[in-house]
């Protein structure tokens, strides 16, 4: 079986200016230059992608977009196509983040269309799934994950696809799923992938997102089915994101 390679991504959301981006990358590169066994990605806002791509050229850091539209071109004012994202230098794109689902009414059908469009353009996909606090308390976590997996990945192969489990109740709240909660959800996701895709699921990268910090990254990464992290607020500062990238491996 192919070994799963850790994947740590920074989702900057709607943060940072051009000068702040250049300063972050300039300070970040030297610290992680020696990291060779982990894939690192940064997802800035659209307006910063080209500058970030130039600053990251020749480094071990991948560039990701935070979102994408499902058409290649056309009369879709304000939208960004997969081809545009590729042209800006991106290798990955985040799709289905809970904030997109909540604030912009993105359904699993829309998420599925975006994944197919992104993969057609040659982009790697980070698919976000996760349950709300109400759904967790009602015992519906697995039902929600199953629906998001089956509908979001309908007609999609696992090639160059990462799943990010992000419990909505832990995003930006300071609350983090315990290691046991994270492992339970990740194990369930992998089992469902096995049903859909067979043994290829054992090679699939499943990462955790939701108030990831330097304080909890080690315990999260010690879980057997947690293969990395999608980091929000803690990725905005060089020191904290470097500590997350350089998590301490369980001996």
Rg (C-alpha) for the chain, rounded Å, is 17
For every residue of 198-233, DSSP letters joined together read GGGGGG-EEEEESS--TTTHHHHHTSTT--EEEESG
DSSP state of 153: T
How far is CA 77 from each of CA 49, 71, 106, 128, 150, rounded to the nearest angstrom?
19, 12, 17, 25, 30
**Residue among 20, 97, 159, 186 flagged as catalytic:** 97
Whether 186 is catalytic is no
Nearest Cα to 48, choosing from 18, 89, 12, 91?
18
| Token digits of residue 58 | 């020749």
Residues 6+ apart with CB under 8 A from 196: 149, 150, 153
* Sign of the torsion angle spanned by Cα atoms 43, 45, 46, 50: negative
Active site residue 166: yes
Active-site hit among 99, 131, 135, 166: 166
Q: The tokens of 240 are what? A: 């904290």
Question: Residue 247 corresponds to which tokens in the numbers above?
Answer: 């998590």
Q: Which residues are marked as active site?
A: 97, 166
């Amino acid at each position: 079986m192919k070994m799963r390679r850790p994947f740590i991504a920074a989702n900057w959301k709607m943060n940072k200016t051009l000068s702040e981006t250049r300063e972050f990358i300039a300070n970040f590169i030297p610290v992680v230059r020696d990291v060779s066994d982990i894939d690192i990605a940064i997802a800035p806002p659209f307006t910063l992608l080209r500058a970030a791509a130039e600053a990251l050229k020749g480094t071990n850091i991948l560039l990701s977009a935070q979102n994408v539209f499902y058409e290649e071109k056309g009369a879709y004012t304000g939208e960004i196509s997969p081809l545009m994202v590729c042209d800006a230098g991106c290798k990955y794109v985040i799709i289905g983040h809970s904030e997109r689902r909540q604030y912009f009414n993105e359904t699993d059908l829309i998420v599925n269309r975006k994944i197919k469009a992104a993969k057609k353009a040659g982009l790697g996909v980070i698919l976000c799934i996760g349950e709300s606090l109400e759904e967790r308390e009602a015992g519906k976590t697995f039902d929600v994950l199953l629906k998001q997996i089956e509908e979001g990945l309908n007609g999609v192969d696992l090639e160059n696809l990462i799943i990010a489990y992000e419990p909505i109740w832990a995003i930006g709240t300071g609350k983090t799923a315990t290691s046991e909660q994270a492992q339970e959800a990740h194990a369930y996701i992998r089992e469902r992938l096995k049903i859909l895709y067979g043994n290829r699921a054992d090679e699939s990268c499943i990462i955790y997102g939701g108030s990831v910090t330097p304080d909890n990254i080690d315990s999260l990464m010690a879980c057997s089915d947690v293969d990395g992290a999608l980091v929000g607020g803690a990725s905005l500062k060089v020191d904290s994101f470097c500590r997350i990238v350089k998590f301490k491996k369980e001996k």
